[in-house]
Amino acid sequence: MPGFELFGEQEKKEVQDVLDSGVLMRYGFDGMRQGHWKAREMETALRARMDTKYAHLVSSGTAALTVALASAGVGAGDEVILPTFTFVASFEAVLALGAIPILADIDATLTLDPQAVEKAVTHKTKVVMPVHMCGSMADLEPLKTICDNHGLVLLEDACQAIGGSYKGKPLGSFGDLGCFSFDYVKTITCGEGGALITNNEKYYLNADHYSDHGHDHLGTDRGAETHPFLGYNYRISELHAATGLAQLRRLDEFLEIQERNYTVIRKALEPIDGITFRTVPEGGVENYSFLSFLLSTEEKTRSSHKGLNAAGVDGCFYWFDNNWHYYRKWEHLTHKKSLGNLSQEVKERLPDYSQADFSKSDHWISRTISCLIKLSWTEEEVRERAKKMAAVLSAL
């Protein structure tokens, strides 16, 4: 990752089609667009690749999460359970709808712990949102059982894990809804973009309408369409969809490269005493966009991260101190810092995360380093990187 490393003629052709037509909007202007419907084409390709009945493109991964939640009826006061280790977009989408983000611990998968989820469920809970961080997945079977037992929606945030699978199903397709990000640093990129997938027709139609001001998209006269409910603007442009269409066609190519590079580095680290790797649930296959490994203590992990940086090994992340991906630095959430007034319900019911005990999450993240896997590395560069990482970590 990311897909922009291998931009080429396929992406240029799809974008040029849009520029030649002059139609950058995904809806309308039928006579001008010369038969080009890039968003529709990408949705068709995404449905086929993810083996789902429905796919809908939007303007970002954050938009995908927001629209997916809204499509399932999530609104003011509803609770959404999500992990302590994720990108801030996960809880931003919840808050955007006036709902309450309920953080829960992670486990050795570095994703949502089913036991923590069971403890967090209340009569206000509406959605469980596992986040498949760094290319690997949550243990989805027990999470689905919890959702089935409590009548909850299982929403997979697969924004960082497109191409991975769980028990033979593409990530994002196991739950009731799945979301992807196609931003500039994802395995496939639109520049900016996202998508949701589902087998639920109601959720799909809700998403289709909600993301375009409530348009019902019936008929061929956009101005005559009705608006069955309030919506907002989360549309993707044809330019972005064109780029993503070419990239989606290359997904298997990208996954093969990532797996090859990941495997070279992992094999170099496996013999080193004190290094273990994140747990991949039984039946799970990563998308190999990151290699996440653990050391025995926080102190050794910090020293190792510093050592890798000093040796010029870029792209390795120590999430425990990260401003954007781990709860410890989310002071804007903890202190409810908002430009506009939050609803009284959010103010009163948002847990006091400054006092929360997430020591179980700390146990895992404080000992984890994740190294991104680039598509553009040559075989020699991968071997050299693996050799350098092994030398640094063995010495420490």
Catalytic site positions: 186
Q: SS3 sequence, the chain?
A: CCHHHHCCHHHHHHHHHHHHHCCCECCCCCCCCCCCCHHHHHHHHHHHHHCCCEEEEECCHHHHHHHHHHHCCCCCCCEEEEECECCCHHHHHHHHCCCEEEEECECCCCCECHHHHHHHCCCCEEEECCECHHHCCCCHHHHHHHHHHHCCEEEEECCCCCCCEECCEECCCCCCEEEEECECCCCCCCECCEEEEECCHHHHHHHHHHCECCCCCCCCCHHHCCCCCCCCECCCEHHHHHHHHHHHHCHHHHHHHHHHHHHHHHHHHCCCCCCEECCCCCCEECCCCEEEEECCCHHHHHHHHHHHHHCCCCCEECHHHCCCCEHHHCHHHHCCCCCCCCCHHHHHHCCCCCCCCCHHHHHHHCCEEEEECCCCCCHHHHHHHHHHHHHHHHHC
335 beta partners: none
Kindly give, in sequence order, each residue whose CB lies less than 8 Å from that of residue 22, ignoring residues fewer than 6 positions away: 32
Residue 284: strand pairing partners: 166
Cβ proximity of 343 and 76 under 8 Å? yes
